[in-house]
Structure 1
Amino acid sequence: MSKPVKEMIIREIRAELGSRKDLLMLDVSKMDAIAQNQLRETLRKKGVTLLGVKNSLAKLALKESGIDVSESILSGPTTLVWGSEDIVGLSREMTEWAKKIEKMSIKGGVVDGQGVNSDGVEEISKGPSRLELIGQIAGLLLSPGAKLAGALLGPGGTISGQLTALSEKGEDEAKEGGDAA
């Protein structure tokens, strides 16, 4: 392959990846073409993209994008995978597919520009997604307010009610005294 063609392919890979710093590497070489196409079509509907690449060109494209990938991950046939709402969702999706399809294996991945092995990808798939984390943080932030509201509605609410009754009683007595004069 000539140097201009290689450079063109590297530019194309970089353009496809864009500014992504989260992706996975698969080995789907043992799957037949029909199964690969079915997998691509199913994943495309979920917003996941698969791109078969030549390792040497992928290494150069990823390096130019500032993504660090170990030599062991980019050895043998490699398919780059990206998409989904976050790396956790992508890891879950691909881990499920790897369990369903014996001929497909996860080689590793890149999380925020740093390489992880296949065990790391499986661990990531078990963690909470971005939306789940946001929900947990929101719950933690709202917890003190909920406790305060509960305290005010409980004994604090009783005291507040008694104070309101006393102030109304005082106003009524003041009105009655004012009417008599």
Structure 2
Amino acid sequence: MAIMAKKLQPAKTAAIADIKARFETVSDYIFTEYRGLTVEQITQLRDLLRAKGCTYKVVKNNFARIAFEEMKASDVSAYLTGPTAVALPTDEANAVAKILFDFAKETPALVIKGGLIDGELYDAAKIAAFSKLPGKKELISMLMSAMLGNTSKLARTLQAVADKKAEA
């Protein structure tokens, strides 16, 4: 539960509204701890994520808790401890998770805490497994190639039967 001040300050309510507006634009959130990363490393990570259409936002934990409570989202307060940054993927969350885990291998200071994917809480282990799954576009291409292979095989078989009948 987030701590609400008795006297609300306009700057803080504006900051919470800004965080909430950013959070409402996406449905998936991956929480990380960035303690120990240099500015160059965070910039490099942001560039990698931006290439996948993802925003990497450092947030104040209490402001983020309030924003999630106002959005009626699952309780993510367990992930909002320590220095927290949130990856906000707009397209494929598993591709973003893969980038984060690959970057964490190179830079052990980056810690993936967990995530909120399609309204379901994922711990770090579940996010790691999720990152290994193929993306939506990859799955569609796999399905289409399987369908195309069977269709072309059927067409070749029918053509062979027609050629055989034409010879006879």
Describe the SS at the equivalent of 2:134: coil
Please give the residue correspondences for 1:91-130 in structure 2 after superposition, counting only pairs within 5 Å: 91-130=97-136
Considering Cα pairs closer than 8 Å and 6+ residues apart, tell me whether 1 or 2 has the greater RCO. 2
Q: CA contact under 8 A between 1:27 and 1:105: conserved in structure 2?
A: yes
> What aligned pairs does 1:72-91 form with structure 2 within 5 A after superposition?
72-83=78-89, 85-91=91-97
| TM-score normalised to structure 2 length | 0.81
Identity %: 27
Please report how far the alpha carbon of residue 100 of structure 1 lies from its aligned counterpart in structure 2 after TM superposition. Answer: 0.8
Larger Rg: 1
Task: Give distance in 2, aligned partners of 1:68 and 1:160.
Answer: 65
The runs of at least 4 aligned residues of structure 1 exceeding 4 Å deviation read none
Query: Number of paired residues?
Result: 162
Structure 2 residue corresponding to 1:63, chosen from 69, 72, 89: 69
Match for residue 12 of structure 1 among 15, 18, 21 = 18
Greater helix content: 1
Q: Which runs of 5+ in 2 are unaligned?
A: none
1:28 aligns with 2:39: no
- Equivalent in the alignment of 2:58: 52
TM-score by length of 1: 0.76
The unaligned stretches of length 5 or more in structure 1 are: 164-181
Distance in 1, matches of 2:39 and 2:29, equals 22
RMSD: 2.4
Matched to 1:77, the amino acid is P
